[in-house]
Every structure is written in C-alpha cells, then in structure tokens.
Chain A
Amino acid sequence: MIEELLFIRQEVAPELIAGLWMSIQLIIPSAVCGLLIGIVIGTLRVYGSPGLKGFAGIYVLFFRGFPLLVQLYLWYFGLPRIGIYLSPFAASVIGFSLCSGAYQSEYIRGALQSIRKGQLLAAYSIGFSHTRAIFSILLPQAVRRALPGCGNELIYLIKYSSLAYMVTCIELTGKGSILANFHFKYLEIFIIVGAIYLLLVSVVSVGLNYLEDRIAVPGFDRPKI
C-alpha cells in the first residue's frame, strides 16, 4: 500500500500534473475564443443581413453537426494535404474553439430571441443606433440569460479536451495513457485521470454558479437544473 502511494507520488503525480497543465492550456483559450465566436455568430444569426445570417447558419450546421473528433482530424490530418500545417496543440485549440463557438452561438441566439421587442424600441426612442442598441442593451441581457447554457458548454469543453490526445497533443488523458502503458497499471491510472477530470468539472461548476449569482439581476429568471 505504502509502496503504491509512493509510486503514485513519485512516478505518476508529476506526469499527470504536467498533463493537467497542458489540458488547462487547451481549455482556457478555447473557452474564450469559443465564447467570442458564439457571441458573434449568435448575433449575426438574429440581427445579421440575409447573407450574414446564411453564413452563420451554415457555420452552425457544420460545426455542430460534425463530430468533434472528425473536426480535429480535419484540422490536423486534413489541412496539411492542402498545404496548411498545424501543430497538435494549434489544431486542438482551433478545433475546440470553432466547435464550441457553434454551440455557444445557439445559447446566445436563443437568449437574444427571448428578449422582448420593446427593449429595442426603447433604445431607438432615445436615439440609439441599431448597432449600439445591440451592443449596449441586447447583448448584456442576452449574455446574462445565456450564462447557464454557456457554462454548461464550458463543462463539455473540459471533457472534450481529452480528444486532443487523439491528434497526439499529449494532455492529461495522453499522459495517463502513456503512463498506463509504461507501468502496465491501466485501471489505477485511468481512474486517477478520471478523478482529476471529475474534480476539475466540479470545481468549475461551483465557480460558475457563484459567478451566476454575482452577476444576477433581479427579475432575470435563471433556470437551474
């Protein structure tokens, strides 16, 4: 038993922590870019010109419709054949951001559509331009309303970041896999890896709930499940 713990501490922990660090480096930029893409695409789908609406619709169709793993293969194995070479890390971040953005845009779109038309009329009536009304009146409301959904998407992103291993970006799952193969301890190491994800996901959901309460505005219903 002591031997086991010592083994974990000396051989496993440093490697997995390095892997976790890589996972976090994948997740944070992907989450930020995904949210930004989601806001832009979601807004275009509701308030864009017909052409932009069409573009945004097609974007969502493909990036939500293709399995994420297929998208990663497309970026990592597909693009070099047309002359674009991406590192495993870059391919993963781009893949996660584009896919996450498509999902986020659906939350933003739903939230924008749920805002009563009077909000826009009132903004116009005191001299707001269309663009300014969208940015300072509609989006702040939409983002608040979309927050539970967007937070959910972040949780998904954390879990799906494990797929980076499939395009040889060695993050937490990859490190675990290498260790397991090397020491022939599959069950123990994959359970530890699973526990780390579980912990990460739980901490982030607690954080998101806290954030939701912090920016809550009276009268904004926040569905909680």
Chain B
Amino acid sequence: MAEKVPVLSVQDVHKQFGDTPVLNGVSLDLFRGDIKVVIGPSGGGKSTLLHCINFLVKMDAGNIYLNDTRIDQSRKRELYAYRQKVGMIFQDFNLFDHLDALHNVMIGLVQVRKLPRSEARQRAEAELERVGLKDHMAKYPAELSGGQKQRVSIARALAMEPEVMLLDEPTSALDPELIGEVHEVIRAMAALGMTMLLVTHEIGFASTLAKEIYFMDGGRILEQGPPQKILFDAEQARTREFCSKIGRLNENSD
C-alpha cells in the first residue's frame, strides 16, 4: 500500500502578480513513473505553476510534498536538496553562458553535490552521451543549436539524479526541424520510467506519452483525463475549443 504515496504532490497553489491572479488553487499528484501533461492557452498559468513547484517563483499559498514530506522553503538546506531531486527544464534553456557543455553539466555535481572533479566529469560525460552530444562537449552555448542546448540542459538536470522532471515548454523556442531531437530525448527518459510533468503545445507528442492531460486556463485546472478523452471528447466547451484550434494548427504545420 506504500505504493500509493505520490512522489510529488502539489496542493492548492495560489499566486498573484500584482492584482492579477495567475494560479487559483491548483492541485495535482504525480506517482512514480507518471507522465502528466499540462496544456492550455498562453497566460493560463502553466509556466508559473512549474516555477512555483520548484520555488523559483514564490507562491502566495499552497503546499508541495515530495514523498509525503512537506517542503518548507524557508529552510534553505531542505529547499536546495529538494531542487536537486526535482529537475527543471526551461523554455529558453538557460545554459550557463560562460561554461562549455561539459562544464554546464559538471558544475552542479562539483559545487552542489561536492563530487570530486574526476568523478563529476565521468558522470557529466555519460549524461551528455545519453542525450547524444558526446561530440559537442567542448562547445559553448553560443556554438550549439537550440535543440542541442535543450539536450545539454536535460543532461544537466539528469546529472543531479532527480526523482521528478518538470519540463516547461521544452520545444517552444526551437525551430521546427529541431523539435524532434528533443522529443526523442524526452521519450528516452520516459522509457526509463522517469516521473515527468510536461507543459507543452505539442499535443500530438503529448498524447503518445501522457497518462493524463490537464487542461489549464484562468489559473485553474479545468479538466483532466486520459489523452483520448481530453483531446476528442472533453466535457468542457473551453477544452474542446482549445483542442480543436491546436489540432488544426498542428495539422496545418504537418
């Protein structure tokens, strides 16, 4: 029965920017190996939700539990340990601009995990090989394509051995022809059983991967369910409208 405890549990998160409410009580659970996808119109609070889960944006109210332990963000040590266990992938990569690919992956291992340099280097090399960038380790961010940058950032997060990955529109800043390589890496993570919460507009990709899709708008989860249901048989009019729009867009781009 211990299996029933979610790895990551998000409870009733609220957030306002100034007078504008962005999150109005969002709750969700991720069990081990779950892959859940958040979709919804821009400005619906998806990205803010992920930032709040990682405490990169301070939430106004709400709680986050990792393996049933509530995270208290005022206890710095606890917070840093938590963030290592919850990997975050940003829309615009956020690679460290002054470090080459290898050192982007190494720096967390050396500075945060305190691994000896040689061990950190081995680990980093292995992670970069895993995302198919063995030959680009000495390149600086400015010398990498968008897809390669995003793969380095995934390697950087994976190197910390996270239990959960949060992916904030990992392909939305990429040229269309580069999206595939990043999807491939995400698929490989899924195959290894990584627990993931993915925000994306790539509904086709999402539906092949996700166990459950959340539709978010106006700072709330309006509807949730298996991909087939949300995409083709949603209960809410807003969800249907959004999915048909996105569906048409994706068809046109194909």
Contacts and interface: CB of A to CB of B under 8 A. Distances in A.
Check A-B contact in the complex, CB < 8 A.
yes
Interface string B59-78: 00000000000000000100
B56 A124 contact: yes
Contacts of B143: 218-219
A127 interface: yes
B95 interface: yes
B242 interface: no
Main secondary structure of the interface of A (DSSP, over half): helix
B157 A219 contact: no
A167 interface: no
B155 to A, nearest CB: 11
Contact of A119 (B83, B94, B153, B156): B94
Contact of A118 (B83, B90, B112): B90
B205 interface: no
A137 B96 contact: yes
B92 interface: yes
Sorting the interface of chain B by its residue count into under 10, 10 to 19, 20 to 34 or 35 or more gives 20 to 34
A126 B96 contact: no
A127 B98 contact: no
A218 B144 CA distance: 10
B140 A218 contact: yes
B160 interface: yes
B108 A126 contact: yes
B142 A219 contact: yes
A125 B83 contact: yes
Interface string A119-142: 101111111110010001100110
A107 to B, nearest CB: 17
A122 B157 CA distance: 9
A127 B80 contact: yes
A121 B84 CA distance: 13
A121 B111 contact: no
Contacts of B80: 127-129
Contact of B98 (A123, A128, A140): A140
Nearest to B105: A126
Contacts of A219: 97, 140-143
B98 A126 contact: no
A121 B56 contact: yes
Given A126-B84, A127-B81, A136 B111 contact: yes
A118 B157 CA distance: 15
Contacts of A144: 98
A118 B98 contact: no
Nearest to B80: A127
Interface string B136-161: 00001111000000000100110010
A122 B97 contact: no
Contacts of A137: 96, 107
Given A141-B96, A217-B142, 4 more contacts: A118-B94, A122-B90, A125-B56, A220-B142
10 cross-chain pairs, A with B, having the tightest CB-CB distances, nearest first: A219-B142, A122-B94, A118-B94, A125-B88, A127-B84, A126-B108, A127-B112, A218-B140, A127-B80, A127-B83
